[in-house]
Each structure stands twice: as C-alpha cells, then as structure tokens.
Chains A and B, each alone.
Chain A
Amino acid sequence: MADAVQISGSLRSRLTATLIGGAAVLAVLLYLIARTYAAQIAQQGQDNVLGASVTSILDAAVVRDGQVEVDFPYAAFSMLSTPADDRIFYAIYQDDTLLSGYDTLPKAAATPGDVSFDTGSVSGAPVRIATASRRMIGAELRTDITVSVAQTQDSLSGTLTEIGRNVALFGAGFFLLAVALSFWATSATIGPLQRLTRSVMQRGPQDLSPVSRPVPSEMVPLVSSLNSLMGRLDHSLRQSEDFIAEAAHRVRTPLTTVRSYAETTLQRVDKEENRQALRSMVRAIDESSRAAGQLLDHAMITFRADHLDRQPLDLVDLVQDLVQGLTPVADMKDITLRVHGDAVVPYAGDAILLQNAVRNLIDNALKYSPGDGAIDITVKAGPTPTIDVRDEGPGFPQADMARLPTRFARGSNAAGIIGSGLGLTIAQDVAVAHGGRLVLGNDPKGGACVSLSL
C-alpha cells in the first residue's frame, strides 16, 4: 500500500485564481482609467462652451462716451443649453465693480487674453466657472473688464453616470469573458498532465514501457524521470526474472543427473529402508525439478504477457492436442480425459501461453484425482470462450480458495502431492493477460472445477 500523497493546493485552482484575479484587477483598472478619461473629455467639452460664451460676452464690450457697454449676443447663453437644463450664472465686472449679473458668483482673477477655469459653487450648487478679462482703452478711460460665466454640472454628471455605467458593463463583460477564458486556458494547460496521469493509471501491472506520447516541453523533465524510473524498475524486474529462470535452469540440470543416479542406485539397493530413503529422495528431486520448471514457465509467461503474440487458433484443437499428449500420464493412473462442448471455438490468443495454462490445469486435476476416475474438459464458445476443467478429487478447501492463485500458495489438502504452488498462478496470469479471468469452484457432487474464461 502506497503512502497517502501530501496535497499542497491545486495547480488548476491556483492557475484559475491567478488568471481571474488578474482579470479582475485589469477590469477595475480599465473602469477607472476609462472613467477618468471620459470625465476629462466631458469637462473639456463643457469648458470649451463656457470659454466660447465668456469670449463672446467679452468681445461685445465697448466703451461709449466713457461708459462701458456690453451688448452681448443672445447666443452667448443659448449655446449653454444642455439636455439636463443646467442653470447658468454670470458676472461682468469693471475693475472691481459689478456691472451686471450675479454677485453670488465667486469673483475669480483672470489674466488678460486667457480664459481660466475653476470649480466653485453658487448658492450651494456646484458650478464650473470660466473667467476671462480684457483691457479697455478709451478716451480718458483705462479699465479692465472681467467676465465670468458659470454653469451647473447636471448634464455633465448625467453624461458621466451614463459613461460610467457603460464602462462598468463593458468591464464586467470583459471580466466574465476573461473568467471563461481562464477556465478554458486552465483546462488546456492541465490537459496534458491529466492525459499523462490517465495513461499511466490505465497501464497493466506489468507495463513498464516508457511514455511514448508527445508531451509539452515543460513536462519533459517529469516524463523523462518517470521513464527512466520505469526503465530502471523494468530492468531490475527483468533481471530478477532472468535470475529466477537462470537459477531454475541451473538447478534442474544437476537435479536430472542426481535423479538418474538415485534411480540407478534404487535398482541396486535391496535393503528396504534404504530403498525407502532413495524413493523419498527421488520424489524430492522430482518436486524440485517440477518447481524449477514451473518457475521457468512463470518467468516466461510474465515476459510473454507483456508482449502477447495473438494468433487465430481453435481452442478445441488446442485442448485436444494437450489431452493427446497427457493421455499416457492419465492412463498410468487409470484416469480418462474427456473433452466436451462446442466443435470449434475460434479465438485469437497466444498459443504457447494458453497451452501452458491448460496443461497446468489438467496437471492439477490429474494430481488430485483419485485413480480410476475421469476428468471432464468442456470448451465453450459463448458467451465468452471458456475452458472448464472438472475432476473428481477432493475439491478446493473453501478457506484457501481466494489465495490459491497467488504464487507458491498451496491447498491445505495438498500435503504429499508434488507441486510448487505455481500452476494456478500461471493459469491466472495467462487469463488476465488475455483480458479474462480464472474462477475456482467446487462441484456439488465432489471434485474441483476450474474455469478459465477469456
């Protein structure tokens, strides 16, 4: 069992949060900038009109008979009409004396020839004030005329509110778009990582091949280390399999030699207790040899399971061949091997592995069957291709059923019967390699029943 992985946040949430946060900051910034800019432009517009008004009043000023007359045009004020009906105020000063207009309008100093703008208030109403002055020179008269025109800012603030609302809507839309984009960008970024995870998770337990799918450059270090880790793991697994195979092979050869010596000696020895010892010896050697053989088989299956060599074949044919090969052994125990089921069961599989699996199952059946019995082998095509092997032996001990297909596990009733505990493991590995499974069961009438479905 692997240790629980320590989780430190989520890349997806972090990325999404960063993008959305950034978008929010940008949207607010956009709103503020656009608003400020709009306010400036709108104020500029009002200032231009106020300036024109002041100038047109000032232009109308004349000195007649030593008196200042300001017969300003109607347009001076009609140009100040706004949709919001802003109030207007004005004042005309000669030097420091109010000639005409509102004395409530704050008097502003003005530099001649230049319109100056200011913000103030007239009887509580905030206004924008434009002021300009002009020096009048007549006979025996030298005087400064100063004109101020003020306007409330209702229309301006109305415009600003409208612009503000539009910009806010625009900013919100921009933000929503950015949110959608950031979700999309996040899944697009996380996508390859998830695909890699999925492809690693979906691998078979034996699959230690490197990841071959192209990955984004940022993931190359991770994937290379993963590949190199798996490579080393594969290498060391292979080494140990090789080691087992090599060891089994090296053990089997001398064992064969020892067995033939023991057989020969058995012929020559007469004393019963010595013969007994030699028989035990031969049996022990057989057991070791068989175990070594099955270890070899197992190593071979483990290797082949990774690279299944699927060929179209007929399962009935395959079983018939095996039965034919095993009939002499069965005859020695007076056991009949019977094949039932469909006439032809076509299947695409690895013939060597399937032979191995079925041979092991029949072997087991032979070992546990009492003499003078029968083993029924049923081959069926549907619903899935299945090979059942049924004997008349004692059956599987109920308690061991689950662990029997694991390596070197043997039934509690197997004492005295030669076996390595690898036969069912091999059959199960083959079934799994073909995408099938191995089911152990007992016949209610007695005897074990092993079902290999593919």
Chain B
Amino acid sequence: MRFIVSLILAVWAVTAAAQDWEERQVFASGAAQATPLRVLSSTDIALFEPVLQSFLARYPGVEVEYLVTSTASLDTYFRADPDGYDVVISSAMDLQLKLANDGFALRLEDVSHPPRAQWRQSLFAFTTEAAAFVLNRAAFAGQELPTTRQGLIRVLRAAPETFRGRVGTYDIRASGLGYLFATQDARASETFWRLTEVMGALEARLYCCSGEMIEDVAAGRLLVAYNVLGSYAAARGDLGGQIEIIQPVDFPTTMMRTVFVAERTKVPGPAVDFLRHVLALQSADAGEEGYALPPLAGATGEALPSTIALEPALITYLDQLKRKTFIREWESAIIQGP
C-alpha cells in the first residue's frame, strides 16, 4: 500500500516537474545557501530580467527560479499546486483576482499601495499596459493609419484580398489575457463584435501570445495584429523599423499586471521582499530608466478611465456558463471557414 502511495507521489512529482514551461531560468547571485524563491509568471524573461537582477543585487541571499507560462496555464498550474510557488505574476487580471478571491493570495496589511491598484491588500498591480494594434509598416506605407476600431474595420473591408489570412489576434480559448481583453472590449462596445466578424471573414490567424504575433507582423506574415500588448511591441526595439504600434483612441483597453504572494508560501520573508521590490521599481515616481515594463500609471494621482478596474466583477466572465456562451459567440464570429 505504502509502495503504491509512494509510486503515485513519485509519478505526480515527475508530471508536476515536467510541466511545459515556455521559459525557465534560475537567477542567483552566487551566495551560498541562498533561499530558493519560485516565481510563477506570465511575463517573458526578456522583459523581467532587469527587475530580477536589481532584486538580486539588493537581496543576494535569494535564489530566484523564474518560471514563465501562458496566463491560462499559469492559473491551471497554480491551482493544481498552490504550495509549489511563492510569488505569482500575471497579466490576466481576472484570473489573478479570482485566485485572490479564492484565498490563494497572502494578505499583506503593511504594504502601502494606492487602493485603485490593489485588491484586499493581497493582489497588487505594478504596470499599466494598453492593448494596441500592431501594423506592418511596409504594408501601410503611404496610407493613413487607422486609429480607431471603426477605422481598422474600414481598412480591412477596403482591401479584403490584401488582408486575407494576414490578420491576427489572440486565441481567447488559449490565452487568459486575450480572453480578458476580448471580454472587456465586448463590455465597452458592440464594435468589438463587428471587428471580430470582419477578422473572421478574413480568415484571421489565432495566437497564444503577443510575442509571436509581433514577430509575424514584423516578418510580414501578418499585416495587422489586434489586441496586442503595446508594451511587448515597444520592448522589441529591434523590430521598430518593421512595425507600427497604435493605441486605439476610441476605447483603449488597459490592463494592469498584478503580483501576489502565495498564501501557502514557505518563504514569506523573501517573497514579500520581492513583491515590495517590484512595486517600488514600478511605481511611477521611481524614475529609473532601463526597465522594459511600463510603470504603474496614475499611482500617485489620476486614474486612467479606461483601465480595467481591479474589482470582484472581473470574475463575471470566468463563470463557466458565461465563458461558454462568450466563446461560442466569439467562435461563430472568428471561425467562418469550413
């Protein structure tokens, strides 16, 4: 009996360890007997490394294992093993808020953060990032660039043959952030559905992540990518010549990247230090250059009206029935092929 239990545990451990990470890297300052800190994140290492390095410079006694996966699988992995991670960072505000609501986030009473940018003293926002159109610069040369969704619809309709198969957006079934953007877009305006219809008619290609979409736009495989994280695009300085990033002016859907300390962390000290460090670096008045992530806007004063509010209503679209309905609607709009 004991053998079987051990076997099951061993198999489970192997499966757990063999999770399919997009990126995985251990950052250490080389100090002996460093405290291991497991950070589960949806943010690419390229964007987050400066933050990690500055953390290590200040806290050399910590060894950070940085695990990157998509927002949707991040939620799945963490729920499956809430003991296994110390800090969780994700851009999917709704999934993060649901984790906090479900009691997975440690309450930190003495972390001071603007009320708008934190929920329940357990979930803290540290960036403000807008969803953008990313366009292939060459394809739009000499044309007036669309600045609204209506404008984008007009451009796509005007030259369907040019854009067929060359527009891309998030596959909201696979991407938590894509789902968040889509649902918030749908809340804001019916134009989202018309745009989705139009993209569906043009045999839109669906992506799991912003990075690939940006690369495809740069390479000319895509001409238009919709609802891409502008911050990721802007961070790709090397592609600056090929792509054009446009913040829609009609309703710029803006999300805040959030971080929390796992409720069951075994190293609350370093985990809270890490969280504080991230918040301090990303506060608008930190004034330090060189970090790829945009800071938390309006941390000190004005709230951006289009920023998705960090409130329990975010779990609305995570409801199974609502999600099923929404995805069915979306599928029928975006997938029009045989």
Binding site for B on A (CB under 8 A): 69-78, 80-81, 83-90, 92, 99-101, 123-125
Among B63-71, B165-173, B313-321, the stretch that binds chain A is B313-321
Contacts of B53 in A (CB 8 A): none
Contacts of B320 in A (CB 8 A): 99-101
Give the distance to chain A from B5, nearest Cβ to Cβ, in Å.
26
Q: Does B274 belong to the interface (CB within 8 Å)?
A: no
Whether B313 contacts A78 by the Cβ 8 Å rule is yes
Output the nearest chain A residue to B101 by Cβ-Cβ distance: A87
A246 to B234, CA, bound (A): 132
Given contacts A70-B321, A123-B103, contact A78 B311 (CB under 8 A): yes
Contacts of A69 in B (CB 8 A): 321, 325
Give the distance to chain A from B30, nearest Cβ to Cβ, in Å.
40
Contacts of B2 in A (CB 8 A): none
Whether A88 contacts B321 by the Cβ 8 Å rule is no
Given contacts A85-B120, A87-B103, A87-B120, contact A71 B322 (CB under 8 A): yes
Whether B315 contacts A88 by the Cβ 8 Å rule is yes
Give the distance to chain A from B171, nearest Cβ to Cβ, in Å.
22
Given contacts A85-B119, A85-B120, contact A101 B319 (CB under 8 A): yes
Q: Does B312 belong to the interface (CB within 8 Å)?
A: yes
Contacts of B309 in A (CB 8 A): 78, 81
State the majority secondary structure of interface residues on B: helix
Give the distance to chain B from A53, nearest Cβ to Cβ, in Å.
10
Point out which of A73, A77, A80, A92 has the most chain B C-beta atoms below 10 A from its C-beta: A77
User: Pick the contact of B313 from A77, A86, A87, A100 — CB < 8 Å?
Assistant: A77
Give the distance to chain B from A23, nearest Cβ to Cβ, in Å.
38
Given contacts A74-B187, A87-B101, A123-B103, contact A80 B312 (CB under 8 A): yes
Output the nearest chain A residue to B121 by Cβ-Cβ distance: A85
Contacts of B322 in A (CB 8 A): 70-72, 100
Contacts of A85 in B (CB 8 A): 119-121, 312
Contact indicator per residue, chain B 107-134, by CB within 8 Å of chain A (1) or not (0): 0000000010001110000000000000
Contacts of B103 in A (CB 8 A): 87, 123-125
Given contacts A69-B325, A71-B322, A123-B103, contact A77 B120 (CB under 8 A): no
Output the nearest chain B residue to A88 by Cβ-Cβ distance: B312
A113 to B228, CA, bound (A): 45
Contacts of A86 in B (CB 8 A): 312
A109 to B316, CA, bound (A): 24
Whether A75 contacts B313 by the Cβ 8 Å rule is yes
Contact indicator per residue, chain B 209-230, by CB within 8 Å of chain A (1) or not (0): 0000000000000000000000
Give the distance to chain B from A350, nearest Cβ to Cβ, in Å.
90
A87 to B325, CA, bound (A): 25
Whether A77 contacts B312 by the Cβ 8 Å rule is yes
Could you pull out 10 A-B pairs where Cβ atoms are within 8 angstroms? A71-B325, A73-B316, A76-B316, A78-B312, A85-B312, A99-B320, A100-B319, A100-B321, A123-B102, A124-B103
A413 to B253, CA, bound (A): 127
- Size band of the interface chain B makes with A: 20 to 34
Besides A77-B316, A88-B101, A100-B321, 5 more A-B contacts (Cβ < 8 Å) are A71-B322, A75-B313, A78-B309, A84-B120, A85-B312
Output the nearest chain B residue to A154 by Cβ-Cβ distance: B120
Output the nearest chain B residue to A75 by Cβ-Cβ distance: B313
Contacts of B120 in A (CB 8 A): 84-85, 87
Output the nearest chain A residue to B118 by Cβ-Cβ distance: A85
A101 to B320, CA, bound (A): 7
Point out which of B187, B319, B320, B322 has the most chain A C-beta atoms below 10 A from its C-beta: B319
A317 to B102, CA, bound (A): 114
Contacts of B115 in A (CB 8 A): 83
Residues of B238-291 contacting chain A, CB below 8 A = none
Contacts of A73 in B (CB 8 A): 316
A123 to B82, CA, bound (A): 15
Contacts of B187 in A (CB 8 A): 74
Output the nearest chain A residue to B329 by Cβ-Cβ distance: A71
Give the distance to chain B from A98, nearest Cβ to Cβ, in Å.
9
Output the nearest chain B residue to A92 by Cβ-Cβ distance: B321
A124 to B101, CA, bound (A): 13
Whether A72 contacts B319 by the Cβ 8 Å rule is yes
Contacts of A124 in B (CB 8 A): 103
Contacts of A78 in B (CB 8 A): 309, 311-313, 316
Whether B311 contacts A81 by the Cβ 8 Å rule is yes
Contacts of A77 in B (CB 8 A): 311-313, 315-316
Contacts of A87 in B (CB 8 A): 101-103, 120, 312
A361 to B156, CA, bound (A): 141
Contacts of B101 in A (CB 8 A): 87-89
Residues of B284-331 contacting chain A, CB below 8 A = 309, 311-313, 315-317, 319-322, 325
Contacts of B311 in A (CB 8 A): 77-78, 81
Give the distance to chain A from B124, nearest Cβ to Cβ, in Å.
12
A125 to B187, CA, bound (A): 31
Give the distance to chain A from B270, nearest Cβ to Cβ, in Å.
25
Contacts of B313 in A (CB 8 A): 74-78, 80-81
Sorted nearest first, the 6 A-B pairs with minimum C-beta distance are A78-B313, A85-B120, A77-B313, A100-B320, A81-B311, A100-B321
A81 to B116, CA, bound (A): 12
Point out which of B103, B316, B317 has the most chain A C-beta atoms below 10 A from its C-beta: B316
Contacts of A99 in B (CB 8 A): 320-321
Contacts of B312 in A (CB 8 A): 77-78, 80-81, 85-88
